[in-house]
Structure 1
Amino acid sequence: MRLHCEVEVRNQHLPALGLKARGKGVRAVVSLCQPPRRSALQPGAGAESDGRACLLVSTMKDRQGTRYELRENIEQLFTKFVDEGKATVRLKEPPVDICLSKANPSILKTFLSAIKLAHRGCDINTPLSTPKPVKTSEFENFKTKMVITSKRDYPLSKNFPYSLEHLQASYCGLVRVDMRMLCLKNLKKLDLSHNCIKELPATIGDLIHLQELNLNDNRLESFSVSLCQSTLQKSLQSLDLSKNKIRALPVQFCQLRELTNLNLSDNELIQFPFKIGRLTNLRFLSAARNKLRNLPSEFKMLSLEYLDLFGNTFEKPEVLPIIKLQVPLTLLESSAQIILSNRIPFGPHIIPFHLCQDLDTAKTCVCGRFCLQSFIQGTTTINLHAVAHTVVLVNNVGRMEAPIISYFCSLTCYVNYSDMLK
């Protein structure tokens, strides 16, 4: 029985000595073996097993491997993150922690079950081999990068190496995301550009280490709310959705707060996500050749290094404001202002779902207050250099300005900030 993974062997006494472990695993093949009896090592003796299973950790530098006894020698098994392909075997003698990572979760679970049986001295159903050097070819399973650029090279009869961290499958004619890719829990970069994908499965959000996702030149029409609320919130840093058919992005898109690079060029976007200002880490934004008419009010909260809005159909600012003030304020409006101003947690398990939607789409007044249905809406222009260091011209005339919507929660705010609309 063998497990391909990364291994770090830590001495348990290091913390007591004020020392830290290296903190980095190496590629290894971990085997569950059964050494022969000592008598079997004598000339002419048979290769008879003594029934005591051991753990053999082999690396490229040490293909012979280091052997660890298992029977009544396991102090503790740490399996909290086994579904992520991680586990730790703490031994009594020698006092070390064998830290396993980047393993196939299903194989790891089976492997750990066998280790438990070996510790108790029970029979293991799987036949065990005698310790022997690992072949160099076995380490080829640790491939971390695969680039496929044609249908001919696309693997149909075999799975992708589980250890992949970077996978590119471009010009393969894919009409959907291959579900085998979604089992690659170590993926950091996924490039599916230049295909025919129309829809993204929600399970992409299960790739907990995914940092870069390239979907350039496909046929996507939307980016689902479930993806915006997945673990991508904590991992995704670069997203390329250019050359698709996306008309709008959900409000929840702005929950992807680790994004630093976002490319939305060559789509059919009519507007940016309403709360785009929440993308506080965003530094590179491209949305050229869309159908943007104006920018949302929170756009001015961005702090970008590069901005490209060339070729959009920006409208001229409205001369007259849109007035939707309600005096006195409704109970809903007042309650919403209190909840949002005090950052009181809310969700569909606390209040009705439609109220959650109202709170998620609340507008922010120039004074900082919030408003739902009672506001004055005005349109002005913003110099794009106010939000970005480098700006691509908006059109061929050399414009550096674009219309932006502003909201006012009261007539007083409108009067005090009316200079913004001039």
Structure 2
Amino acid sequence: MRLPCEVSVSSRLLPSAGLRGPGRGARAVVALGKPPGGGGVWLQVSTARHRPGAKYQLRENIEQLFTKFVEEGKATVRLKEPAVDICLSKANVGHLKTFLSAMKLADRGTSEESLPLSTLAPPKASEVEKPKTKMTITSRKDYPFAQSFPYTLEQLQASYCKLPRIDTCILGLKRLRKLDLSHNLIRKLPVTIGDLVSLQELSLQGNLLESFGAALCNSTLRKSLQSLDLSQNKIKALPAQFCQLRELIHLKLDDNDLIRLPFKIGQLSQLRFLSVARNKLPFLPNSFGKLSLESLDLFGNPFEQPNPLAPDIQLKIPLTLWEHSARATINYRLPYSCHVLPSHLCHDLDMSKSCHCGQACLSSFIQTTVTMNLHSVAHTVVLVDNMGSTEAPLLRYFCSLTCYSQFLDRHLQSIR
């Protein structure tokens, strides 16, 4: 019977001699079995430094078992001879309980045939080595095409490997916190990348991506992803659902073909660093003003000259019954879902716009662009153009002629 865990062996005689114990535990395999020559049941503790292992006889030799923290995968075995304490930690809870039960039976002299024993032999080096948590690959020749990645990986970089897709073996690394697949040939992201429940940082810089799927925005990435780098791709637009990634702090979208940002980007309340340089943005969405950033880079976008006096009027008077109903649903925050409404109606409600007065509007509105000083949403602003400007056009919606007239009056007064 074998138990992978961390082990620390300390002698109880050391304090009396003025010496200190070994300190932190080491990765080990603890085995319960008979030595090749026979002679009772022994406990073998094998580490990477000493794979043959230290052996301790068990019959009538256990002074005490400390199992208060067994539910945390911890236990201590106190032996009579030699006078040592064997501290076990980071063990599988179920396997640890079984192992301790077998040790008790061995101490009482239970028949060896009734115990789950194994031949005491040195474990493989891979069994006692510290699990690998980080791997960096920067060329195709070093990429392990013929083998899988260690399941213990928490950080993986596979750059400049000419990968056309994300391998399924990567998608199975459930402990992965940081994934860097920059500078490859990836054209499409699999939906299953959303199953990486621990993923906090994702870099896809320098690939051939044309989209970022809505399904990914509704996956477990909503609760885990904090940093996303999609720069140097071919993305023209991000889905409205992108704003479901509420934990995002860092977002890089430089050097794409973006013609717009998600119109509810203001919902990314945790976002602090945003870079969307060298894209094709004509203006910023209405909710952009709700952001609270530390750093903002919008350099190199062909922003249009704002003109509040030339609105795009799509207001229908009187309002349709659908517009009235939809506005009431949003304004009164009535719950809705695809279980009670057709999916296309839910989509329309999700795409509702917010007037300056705080009321909602959907297909009936007045639209115009106004000037926004970017320092109102960010502490540090990279110049928008070579002329030293830190202003950009902001799309603004109005739910009625009254709201637009009030805005127009204030605007004309401010420029007099």
Normalised to the residue count of structure 1, the TM-score between the two structures is 0.75
- Deviation string for 1:140-199 (max 9, x for gaps)? 351111000011111122211111111000011101001101111111100000111001
Name the residue aligned to 1:35.
33
Count of aligned pairs:
361
TM-fit CA distance, 1:113? 9.2
Name the residue aligned to 1:97.
70
Name the residue aligned to 1:364.
354
TM-fit CA distance, 1:27? 7.3
Contact 1:3/1:111 (8 A) holds in 2: no
From 170, 194, 210, the equivalent of 1:221 is 210
1:397 paired to 2:396: no
Determine the C-alpha separation between the residues in 2 that align with 1:362 and 1:255. 15
SS at match of 1:254: helix
Which piece of structure 1 moves more, 152-161 or 190-199?
152-161
Name the residue aligned to 1:233.
222
Determine the C-alpha separation between the residues in 2 that align with 1:407 and 1:7. 65
Letter in 1 for 2:180: D
Normalised to the residue count of structure 2, the TM-score between the two structures is 0.76
RMSD across aligned C-alpha pairs, in angstroms? 3.7
Q: 1:368 to 1:2 in 2, by over 3 A?
A: farther
TM-fit CA distance, 1:411? 1.5
Name the residue aligned to 2:155.
166
- Deviation string for 1:277-304 (max 9, x for gaps)? 0001111111111000100000011111
1:176 paired to 2:165: yes
Identity among equivalent pairs (%): 55
Letter in 2 for 1:306: S
Name the residue aligned to 2:87.
none
Taking the TM superposition and a 5 Å limit, the aligned residue runs for 1:270-349 are: 270-318=259-307, 319-349=309-339
Determine the C-alpha separation between the residues in 1 that align with 2:6 and 2:365. 57
1:409 paired to 2:399: yes
Determine the C-alpha separation between the residues in 2 that align with 1:320 and 1:66. 87
Contact 2:48/2:129 (8 A) holds in 1: no
1:150 paired to 2:148: no
Q: 1:157 to 1:65 in 2, by over 3 A?
A: farther
From 210, 215, 221, the equivalent of 2:199 is 210
1:46 paired to 2:38: yes
Q: 1:62 to 1:388 in 2, by over 3 A?
A: farther
Q: Which runs of 5+ in 1 are unaligned?
A: 9-24, 70-91, 102-109, 122-126
Determine the C-alpha separation between the residues in 2 that align with 1:372 and 1:57. 69
Which piece of structure 1 moves more, 133-142 or 222-231?
133-142
Q: 1:337 to 1:57 in 2, by over 3 A?
A: farther
Q: Which runs of 5+ in 2 are unaligned?
A: 9-23, 59-64, 75-91, 106-115
The structure number with the bigger radius of gyration is 2
- Deviation string for 1:4-26 (max 9, x for gaps)? 67899xxxxxxxxxxxxxxxx98
SS at match of 1:356: helix
Q: 1:216 to 1:35 in 2, by over 3 A?
A: same
Q: 1:398 to 1:29 in 2, by over 3 A?
A: same
